[in-house]
Amino acid sequence: MTKINKVTTEILPENEVVESPKKNEYVEVKKEDLDALFKRLDKQAKDIEMLYDASDKNSLARAKSKGGSDVLIHTAKVRVWSPTGKRILAWTNMKTNKAEIIMGKVFEDQSTTLILQEGEPLTVSYLELVRNSIQYDTGEIISRENQFDVDAKQYNEILHLEFSNGEKLKINSKFVN
């Protein structure tokens, strides 16, 4: 038995199936519903644009370069001691906290100890700490671990960070922003 394709009028082999031409499908939607859908899409596009403008462009570029926009990279910021350029790993509570009132003016003597990246302790005044540690260095969080502090009798979360220059650092999560 031979089959004839009605569209092109050619003879087809016996085992080939003839497909009917596809018809256009239409859906009826109320104008109000369509307008509401378009409004929601416009609002969503504006929200996405606003979020993109407010986002951290470095993190966004890094995420896109690592395989797409669906990758979420966790980062942490570490303070940098600007006179030396070294990262601040930890600091103590106020080492000295004195205040005197002389002739109606308050004079404060507040100091704290910083632990810098090379492990060097540095005692500085609180005012100097605030003025010289405004800079931050951002690193990607590679992993996390919990360590038990015997003295404080609590667990501390230790972050393993990797910076853009390839340098790796372990730091207590209390000292990152």
Residues 6+ apart with CB under 8 A from 96: 109, 110, 111
* Host H or E run for residue 90: strand 86-91
Note the pLDDT tens digit of each residue in 63-109: 666 665 555 667 888 888 888 888 888 887 776 677 778 888 877 77
Q: pLDDT value at position 1?
A: 46
Which residue reads 């050619």 in tokens?
10
Walking along the chain (177 residues) 10 residues at a time, the average pLDDT comes out as: 50 63 80 92 89 71 63 78 83 74 82 82 83 80 82 82 84 76
Q: Residue 115 and residue 108: Cα distance in Å, rounded?
A: 23
User: What predicted TM-score, i.e. pTM, was given to this entire model?
Assistant: 0.51
Give the H or E element holding residue 49.
helix 31-54
